[in-house]
Amino acid sequence: MRKPRLSATVVSCAAGILFLVAVLSINLSCTDVVVHLINARTGSPIPAKRIRMWSRTPARGWTGYLEQATDSNGVAIFHLKDPSPDGIVVHTAMGGYWEECLPNDRLGFDVSDIVRSGVAREGACPPNLRRIDDKYSPKPGDLYIFVSHLTLWERITHCGEWGCR
């Protein structure tokens, strides 16, 4: 007579665990974008710098921007709650003589491209540095952002040409 009780207990526990897993998966639904901040001159990651992310579709409930600091590996992880935006605009908040090497379209990045295959796309990089984005093989969810630190002379002589901030 104990066997039916044991199997009923096992079935109840299994049902409870399945219910808990279902509830947790619903509440944790989000899209992760892993931003890698890379020095375009050296190819090395840049730690402890702020990165800001805006949504191109703010009607989905975003106000302002999201901000994260890069870790010791130059990585900042953004958790975008579903429904995720169609596109994002990413900028560094580094100041000083750092210039972003963003693609010229300035429209940002499609989240679907980032999630599907990852993105490592470098634009014009002052002072006419060789492109290094082809050295990186992004994984799905990765976004590589390249920046260049200008010398004082480069800033004085070239900022009119590039429109430095």
Instruction: Count Cβ atoms within 10 A of the Cβ of residue 159 and give its class: 0-12 exposed, 13-18 middle, 19 or more buried.
Output: middle
Averaged pLDDT of the chain? 80
Residue 139 gets which letter from DSSP? P
Give the pLDDT band of residue 49 (cuts 50, 70, 90): very high
> What whole-number distance in Å separates Cα of residue 100 and Cα of residue 28?
33
CATH (residue range 29-162) = 2.60.40.10
Give me the residue spans of the domains in the chain. Answer: 29-162
Write out pLDDT tens, residues 87-106: 899 999 887 788 888 876 56
Write out pLDDT tens, residues 114-159: 999 999 988 877 767 788 888 999 999 999 999 998 888 887 776 7
